[in-house]
Amino acid sequence: MSTFKTLAAFLAVSALSGCATSTTPMEYMNNHSEAYNIAHAGGLVTDIKDTYVPADSVGSITESMLNLGFVAGGYGSPQLGMTNWQTAGVHLLGNLLEPDSHGARNSLIAWMPASEASSTEEAHEKFLSHVKVSIEKVMVELGLKHETIYEQNGKLSIYFIKDEWNCPEYSHGITDISDLCEVSVETYEPYKAISPSFISGIESESFIFSPNDGRDFHNLNLITNKKSSVPEDEIYTSISEELSSWTYIYIAPKKVKMKNGETINYPYILNKGQKKLFVTPQ
């Protein structure tokens, strides 16, 4: 991305993300989904929208999405400007999302209780350590050989090996870096503020890890090669199960593959392994 586009995206995000840095916690919006509320409270604003569906159909539609029926049905991203459910079959993703749009990228959101650390620096260090331990636990549970290849300045890379998934072990001069499979994490120092009551259960002060920045934002991503058959959705879910209840993973449309190679075409938020969808009854 050019310097000009990066700057433009940063300015746009800064203008639209005031809710993430406000000293007044956000109130829950009853006309929106829980996923939408969490995203906005965390600073994800641009291209974050709900799909409104008939109230008597929301149960079956949600079940279909959770069972990945939307992938098989060829649906586009349901949160992108679709105010009428009948337009759900239209693929709008490519036209509406810019590279730095909040809705277009996987992000990590967290509200660490203030009692967990004595400073933003300590909170940052503890958060990254917690994320690393969670990832490593999942790697062990899945029987994956893994190694931390980078851990510095809030960034972490853990690469993993499994022949059945076409995730090879690195061999100098033989294996291309692009052939490897890894979990990549980027975190930055949080800020301290009052968290929304619907996030923490009570209105209390937290260290807030908000991914609203257009460039340096908190994220957790699986980076795999084109030949791999990694069940990315399952790994994201497993990592989420190990993370604290105050940590959320936003999954963007078409950013996560299943083991059959299909991508999930709708966005969702993971919390303790549970999917929260951007669907609201009307």
pLDDT tens digits, 185-219: 999 999 999 999 888 666 689 999 999 987 889 99
275: how many CB neighbours lie within 10 A of its CB? Answer: 18
34-76 residue pLDDT tens: 999 999 999 999 999 888 777 666 666 666 666 643 443 333 3
Element (H, E) at 158: strand 155-161
Q: What is the pTM of this model?
A: 0.80
Of 109, 165, 156, 163, the closest CA to residue 135 belongs to 156
Q: Is 222 helix (H, G, I), strand (E, B) or coil?
A: strand
pLDDT at 16 over 80: no
pLDDT value of residue 59: 66
pLDDT value of residue 139: 97
CB contact at 8 A, 80 and 47: yes
CB contact at 8 A, 135 and 183: yes
**Side chain identity at 241, as an amino acid letter?**
E
Confidence grade of residue 90 (pLDDT, cut at 50, 70, 90): very low
Q: Is 4 helix (H, G, I), strand (E, B) or coil?
A: helix
pLDDT value of residue 21: 45
Query: How far apart, in whole angstroms, are the C-alpha atoms of residue 52 and residue 187?
Result: 33
Length of the chain: 282
pLDDT at 91 over 60: no
Write phi, then psi, for 52 (nearest 5 degrees): -95, 125
- 171 Cβ partners below 8 Å, 6+ apart? none
